[in-house]
Amino acid sequence: GPGNYYSDFLTENDIVGVRLFAGMKAHTIILPESAKEIANYVFYQNKHLTKAVIGKSITKIGNYAFSGCKALERITIPASVTTLGGNAFYGCTALETVTFAEGSKIKKIDANTFYKCNSLTNISLEDLALTEIGNSAFYQCFALTGIDFTKFTSLTKMGTLAFRETAVVDVD
């Protein structure tokens, strides 16, 4: 049933592998604490997933990992994650809240990471010591407002169209 603990789905390298979730219909996924990485495309276009609990040992969320998860509403990225793949949440149209855990080490929001997350209203970007925001990272996040760019003291690169078609103002 929903909320099962999917420790059976680890590959030999403690990577949550893509083939293991093909066609999965659970609404909640709790990734085991032993998992170290979420591979590329693991939950790609999963229409049922509303909640994912990412284990505190995960260091990498792969490219397109949650892309097209149209029912996913909120996600917390643990402090252990250092790499957030490009297109990781592309097209997660119900995603409203993204929380980066206290002590997060993420320095880069890659290209298209939150592209077309048009319900996104809450994201704790100011808590990160970001150095780079990639091209189209928040493109068409229509509901996104109120990001305080004065907090981005480490930011050296802002990609093209990073905040295009959002409600964020003063992006210079």
Q: Is the pLDDT of residue 118 over 80?
A: yes
> For position 1, what pLDDT does the model report?
38
Mean pLDDT, residues 135-159: 93
- Joined together, the tokens standing for residue 105 give 């080490």
Residue 97's nearest CA partner among 126, 67, 117, 80 is 117
The answer to whether residues 48 and 71 touch, using CB atoms and an 8 Å cutoff, is yes
> For position 166, what pLDDT does the model report?
93
Q: Is the pLDDT of residue 104 over 80?
A: yes
Express each pLDDT in 37-95 by its tens digit: 988 888 888 888 898 889 899 999 999 999 999 999 999 999 999 999 999 999 999 99
* 157 confidence band (pLDDT: 50, 70, 90): very high
Q: Is the pLDDT of residue 159 over 70?
A: yes
Q: Which amino acid is at 119?
A: S
